[in-house]
Amino acid sequence: MRLTLDSICNIGFGVNLGSLSSELPDVPFMRSFDDSNKLIIRRYVDYAWKIKRALNVGGEAKLKKCVEIVDGFIYNVINIRRMEMTASRARGEELQKEDLLSRFMSLSNEDGSPYSDKQLRDIVVNFIIAGRDTTALTLSWLFSMLCKSPTVIKNILSEADKVLNDLNRTNETGHDGITINGFYGRVESKIQHDMCKYAELLNYQALNRMHYLHAAITEALRLYPAVPLESKVAVNDDIFPDGTKIKAGNFVSYSPYAMGRLECLWGDDAKEFKPERWLKDGIFQPVSPFKLTAFQAGPRICLGKDSAYLQMKMTTILLLKFFSFDMVENQSLEYSMMVVLYMAHGLKCKVSLRE
């Protein structure tokens, strides 16, 4: 969760939170953001939440404080960025920022006006929700299955070695004369240096050729979709193909979690973690997004699908390449009731440097 928060904050609004630094600092924005997610979901079962909000008591009082902290942090970033842009224009320069917030601040909304601070806040929060929790939780559930599947780990690492060696021979890695096997001979003091050098090899071309890794992540998405229950609201009256009538304002819900376990869709081994089901002659075979609904489908398909896969691929291969993970026995891998498939107690592992 710290990894994906740092990355989405950097990409989203050009801020380095440093939540993953070695001391694992307490970050009020992160804590308040997480607490807000947990408190909001209670409204599904607490019919008195509107009264509590009006009286500012209980969980609604805490939620209000959390939202104030989140808003304060984001509005401060927006204000700083506006001052930077104003100062740049005064110097006759263009502020060179690549983050999403800066890009939206330089654009106009659908009315032709600049985005208001509230609109910018909503955009930033939306990107954090979409790009942080979902990716982090998919990685957590993936590693819970990898710990039980040493053969899958072996196949992922073998594929990575082959892909990188092939690209190195054709000099498609962007590096001249790098020996992949040279990264094995290291001591602990060199681990960070070695990981950084290895990460440089994991460009788009390399990651795109790792079909088995892609299949393993997709299999995790099938069994543990980040959003286990999806709901839509009909804007207008509609009729389903089977004749079911939907009235405007009706909620329509479906469960990607249940769909990923249906034998009628995936076969008798539907509950097994089996990356091979996605491969044919070693090449990943995608299915209809209406069958694997982790990223939704149609006009509402996830815009961050490709970037999410890239981040999950890079994170997974880096961790597996340099570390071994042994899951602590007799732990209960339960999920908690939230909008996303949160791992209630985390994944407890014994981690060691890979031999």
**Mean pLDDT score of the chain:** 88
What pLDDT, on a 0 to 100 scale, did the predictor assign at position 177? 41
CA distance 63 to 40: 8
Q: What number of other Cβ atoms are within 10 A of residue 173's Cβ?
A: 21
Q: Mean of the pLDDT values across residues 262-273?
A: 96
3-state helix, strand and coil shares in percent for the chain, rounded to the nearest 5: 55, 10, 35
Q: What number of other Cβ atoms are within 10 A of residue 119's Cβ?
A: 13
What pLDDT, on a 0 to 100 scale, did the predictor assign at position 255? 93
pLDDT digits (tens, 9 = 90+) for 125-134: 888 888 888 9
Nearest to 132 by CA among 317, 312, 349, 294: 312
Task: Using pLDDT thresholds of 50, 70 and 90, give the confidence band for residue 171.
Answer: low
Radius of gyration from C-alpha coordinates of the chain: 23
Checking if the pLDDT of 176 tops 80, the result is no
Q: Is 337 exposed, middle or buried (0-12, 13-18, 19+ CB in 10 A)?
A: exposed
More reliable by pLDDT, 296 or 284: 284
Q: Mean pLDDT check: name the lowest of 43-52, 212-221, 277-286.
A: 43-52
- The answer to whether 152 touches 324, Cβ cutoff 8 Å, is no
Q: Is 302 annotated as a binding residue?
A: yes
